[in-house]
Structure 1
Amino acid sequence: MDTVEPAEIAATRRWLERAVIGLNLCPFAKAVHVKQQVRFVLSDTREIDALRETLERELRLLADTPADVVDTTLIVHPHVLQDFLAYNDFLDVADMTVRMLGLEGEIQVASFHPQYVFAGEPADDPSNCTNRTPFPTLHLLRESSIDRAVAAYPDPDAIVERNVATMRRLGVEGYRRLLTAP
């Protein structure tokens, strides 16, 4: 029997497929997605402490699971840390949790949020869309996978510049349409 995917996970999957892979924002994402090595986790919590517990559980699971089974995890948490500044502050807790578990140098947490703003950029600059997701999301990445992907990529330093140029061509409204189109 088919199970219905929660709307928050479906929207995040659509973001991954249309923006991250479709716009080639991360040239390394397609391979793990095609191999079904991306774990999507929905956290329904409304409490920061419960989100930290989910993060800890998912960090342990990722560390204990072979990369060919789960290479990366997206924790979607639509009901907590809606404010970007509060979310950004929570990243210190996330990094502390990685260290506490002895996973520093093995797993890192990347940040994505619907209101993401890079330091020094105006909130309405399209470049911020490179890190904007439908819902607040913590992305757990294996550092060894990042190292292998970067080593195999011809010019990894050009990725950020290319992504900014892509988003500025597309614009904030174009980005929204990309994610919401049927």
Structure 2
Amino acid sequence: MADPERAVADTRRWLERAVVGLNLCPFAKAVLAKGQVHFAVTGAGEAPAVLEDFERELQDLLARPPAERDTTLLVIPHGMDDFLAFLDLAGRAERLVRKRGHEGVVQVASFHPRFVFAGTAEDDITNFTNRAPYPTLHLLREASIDRAVAAFPDAAAIYEANMETLRRLGPEGWHALDVGARA
């Protein structure tokens, strides 16, 4: 179990070294450089309490201008170790966004230390495109996604490029990044 400061430091290192460093998300570099990424840590480990913190972060994100806070990473360092339970939580978070009337305004992405794409083996290196040091719910503004996609016309190619990047990197290269999510 990590304390909140450690969870933020580990998540920031992952974002800087893996997500931005490997260009897994070409849109992340700008918001990180501008200080528009908010790192929040929940002390909760059970889904209902995590969702309460998620809703609070959702409202806080929407209450601020994008230039101040464009995106939020809600890190869950306690509990949610089971990947399938976490996927259920992510689905519940998406439903909460819709229920609160923010569909089309905020999108939820999820990352987990044991993330596995359907149809891949658990140790397949391509799973690491969605692995983070801790279970994490990412709140993204849809308007920011739209602007990023407009600036990057072939956004669908990102997924394939990420898979190829990780295949070239391999488990040893991933481990050398020292980002907490282990290959």
Query: What's the TM-score, normalizing by structure 1?
Result: 0.93
Instruction: Please tell me whether the aligned partners of residues 133 and 179 of structure 2 are also in contact (alpha carbons under 8 angstroms).
Output: no
1:28-47 paired onto structure 2 within 5 Å:
28-47=27-46
SS at match of 1:6: helix
Q: Secondary structure at the match of 2:107?
A: strand
Distance 2:70 2:171 in 1: 30
Identity percentage of aligned residues: 56
Measure the CA separation in 1 of the matches of 2:38 and 2:66. Answer: 11
Counterpart of 1:55 in structure 2 is 54
- State how far apart, in whole Å, the 1-side matches of 2:47 and 2:156 are: 34
What is the match of residue 148 of structure 1?
A: 147
Q: Aligned ranges for residues 81-160 of structure 1 at < 5 Å?
A: 81-160=80-159
Tell me, yes or no, if the aligned pair for 2:18 and 2:177 is still in contact at 8 Å.
yes
Unaligned runs of 5+ in 1: none
Q: How far off is 1:177 after superposition?
A: 2.4
User: Alpha-carbon deviation of 1:96?
Assistant: 1.3
State the distance in 2 between where 1:148 and 1:166 align: 24
Distance in 2, matches of 1:78 and 1:148, equals 31
Distance in 2 between residues matched to 1:173 and 1:86, nearest whole Å: 29
Alpha-carbon distance in structure 1 between the residues aligned to 2:5 and 2:101: 32
- Letter paired with 1:78: P
Query: In structure 2, what is the equivalent of residue 176 of structure 1?
Result: 175
Deviation at 1:180, TM superposition (A): 4.6
- Please, which runs of 5 or more residues in structure 2 have no aligned partner? none
- Alignment deviations for residues 107-139 of structure 1 (CA, whole Å, 9 cap, x no partner): 011010000001111111111000000000000
